[in-house]
Structure 1
Amino acid sequence: MGEVLAAEKVPVGPRDLVAPGRSAKIADGTRIAVRYARPLTLTVDGQKRTHWVTALNVGEAFNDLGVRYEGARTSASRSVGIARKGLAVDVRTLKSLTISHDGTKTPVSAPVLTVGEVLARANVKVDADDRVRPALSSMVQSGSTITINRVSTRTTSANLFLPYTTIRKTSSSMYDDQSKVERAGQRGVKRKVVETVYVDGKKASARIVSQSVIRKPVSRVVVVGTKDRPKQETGGGGGGGGGGPVGGGVDSLNWSALAQCESGGNPRAVNSAGYYGLYQFSVSTWRSVGGSGNPIDNSAGEQTYRAKLLYQKAGSGQWPVCGRRLFS
């Protein structure tokens, strides 16, 4: 056979197909067929490989190579012929995948190559903020799952109060037990803008975008006196003892012990609940027994005298905690 081909100047290469075989003996009338090999370049799911085939069309070449590619998408139909110079064919095989998104799972079966193509085939839309795993440009394999997390951003603003400070000033024109508010304090206001990121509806993170003070705090100014208050002694007695006599055994009670219990023996004692002096009078009770002004503006003796009058009027129950000290 080879001698005949050589004599007829029919070139054949090692990949070419000759029938009958090259070493076969021939007789008169024998038909000799030569099918030349040609390159078929297949790019299957992005992987390129060149095959030398003697098939005359794509379908025959697939059969010779033992590949079926059922359900695949090819750039050339199986009936397309393969010329001597060769042919390039792009093949995307059929893949079965699952898209996990929006609380559901969507199955996809299609000849696709990348994640983006899978989503397009399933008509599942994503925006620039959404998280897609694997990435849109990633190649896919059959049986894999694509996960989409929906991401949204919300911007909110809130006003926060800024505390004010207190400035204390002294005045020698005021007694040391006196004070006054020269200027009321005012809280400041700060506006804060926060950006919150939600993933699939759940808060994932938050960051402060901006902060600005829209009103500065105003300090409170308090003036306190430094001048010593002069001691006043009227009606006799001091430190809770003595006071003008009222008779009836009242004068002999232990008024010093009562004063010590109520105020620590301090005629200038002030309770924030509205009680004053040695015996912690309210102003209304003080005046009910003939006192004038505020008890702390009166001497210890005067306060004791008014306390005796109160005892004569209402008994020791006026001092529910310390009243028993009168009898110690």
Structure 2
Amino acid sequence: MTRTPQTSPVPAVPDAPEASATTRSRRRWPFLAAATVAAVAVAGGAVAYADARKTVTLDVDGDVKTVTSYSGSVDDLLTSQGVVVDDRDLVTPTAGASLEDGADVVVRSGKELSLQVDGKDTDAWVTALDAAEALDTLTARGGDVRIVASRDGERASLPVDVDTDGPVAVVHDGTTDVIDGADDVEAVLAEADVELGAKDRVHVTDAANGEVKKHVAAAVADEQKQAEKQATKDGAQTEQVAATEAAAPQVAVVVQRVETKKVTTTTSIDHETKTKKSSDRYADLDPKVAKKGKDGERTIVHQVTTIDGKVVKKTKVSDDVTTKPVTGVLVKGTKERPEPEPETPTYSGSTRSIGQQMAAARGWSGSEWTCLESLWTKESGWDASAANPSSGAYGIPQSLPGSKMATAGSDWQTNPATQIEWGLGYIADVYGTPCGAWGHSQSVGWY
């Protein structure tokens, strides 16, 4: 709907006003205007021309004035006043109807609203004066209805005022303010000292909506306390203080803070451990660390969008291994450990005493020891350095030659125990027992 400006004086003829008085009035006409629902017939048929002068009230989107006119029809009246309507506007009485004296002619412009109904975006045309009236009509169908403000930079705008009749609640940044005397959504936000970021969202909803109901009720209660406190301070009577009541907003302007930023997180990458076998290391030893392993690191970047601190969208931007893990290496031995050599007994005392101990270790004691003692007393007198100059026999057992005793130890020339060890072995191999060797010696003179 548009108004056609008048550039020439209005003559005192039909279809022109003679006098007018303009006021601002709130008249609610809760109709949803749509091209297929409430089309306005602006091409009027034949209307009888009225000769009588008429005084009517013309209300164009809340701008009310009294007009004296000679127009015969509503259409003629609108034309004379420069009011142009289209199919989405609402006119009552209809544009083609006769204009009666004392009539109320109401024009409501069609306005397209961006809505969110139960979380889904849609559009609708309405002829409401403000968002409060539009929500009355739209919520009558049920569902959660929000009127979404358009954004341009740091500004927010609606094709309708917020509420031309009463206060407005502004829910923002965890608090709720109640604003009076500001119709335009931008003025409402300015009154509440709310500055918008480029991505912030603004919508208008019913103050009784579950989204804001609790916050609005708390804000109204606080306003009530402040009003009562001020009334008491001003010296009002008790009953006047009790009668003080803060007006409850019918609608709420909700500001949602939208932030999009990159969030970087890091996670650990476990390292592997490999085991190598080595024949140079004994199998009974614990594995040896040849190379220490080290965990790696993965860096993930997400583009995160939050609304009032809650994540609504998260998109992975990158996922990179920033530090590669280091594989650890263990060495496990496979070499079998040899059997430990038997400990060599330690003998002490005289050569005869050593001989007795070593013979006993073989089980030769008693008579066997007596035979052995007699045998080697005869041969060498138990002298470890005894040498036969004629035969070359040597040592306690008179080994011939003496070097044979090297099989018992490299110290055969000086160590009595080595000589005795070899001699006992010789007797066991050749004669079986000392008494066997002693008997042979007594028989033939040698053994």
TM class by shorter chain equals: 0.3 to 0.5
- Which is richer in helix? 2
Higher relative contact order at CA 8 Å, sep ≥6: structure 1 or structure 2? 1
Q: TM-score, normalised by structure 2?
A: 0.32
Q: TM-score, normalised by structure 1?
A: 0.42
Q: Which has the larger radius of gyration?
A: 2
- Which is richer in strand? 1
